[in-house]
Amino acid sequence: MDRFITKEISPQVTITDRLIAVTVLKFLPPIVTPNSITAFRFVTIPFIIYLLVTNHFAWGMTFFIISAFSDAVDGALARTKGLITDWGKMYDPLADKLLIGSVAVIVVSEFVGQWLALAIIVLELLIIIGAFWRKRFRGVEIQAGWAGKIKMVFQSVGLGLLLLGAVLSSPLLMAVGTYALYASLLFSMLSIFVYKSI
């Protein structure tokens, strides 16, 4: 398995990665790897779906925030420790899209409208199709560029605020969450064209 791991520290380490490294990563035991965190995110998805469809929004929101934040943690761990793997390149973005897509279908459809949920899902599918097309016909593997990363932030914040607004019965929080999701649509469209080759 070692042959699939990049040994040197990635040159793409960001300020956010370094911040997470000194505040979160130093508390993780050595046995925790980026791939295990991604696997954890996959495992949380069905539980989050169950909590949301049964209207346990407070617990659903809690697990969603933890799961969404784990995306930043596994990325920071992989880049700062030189633990980037082929498995992670493939399944980390898949976990993100399953998490965001499943929560969007439930939460956005419930509190905003089905058309916005549909727009989020369609754009995510277009991103996946675009990545597959570039790899299949151009032989180019890609990772999220700045637009894709900003998109993920807006999606996570927007969905989190919708859930918090539902828990607190706050129209203001739900309105801010909705605007954040609108903003995510713009960056979703940009991320189809703005990407980085790897």
What are the pLDDT digits (tens) for 92-148? Answer: 988 999 999 999 999 999 999 999 999 999 998 888 887 777 767 676 665 667 788
What is the predicted pLDDT for the residue at 1? 42
What is the predicted pLDDT for the residue at 7? 41
Residue appearing with tokens 């799961």: 67
Please state the domain extents for the chain: 2-197
End-to-end alpha-carbon separation of the chain, Å? Answer: 19
Give the DSSP H or E segment for 142: strand 142-144
In sequence order, the β-bridge partners of residue 197 are 142
| List of the chain residues with pLDDT < 50 | 1-10, 197-198
Write out the CATH class of domain 2-197.
mainly alpha
Rg (CA), the chain: 17
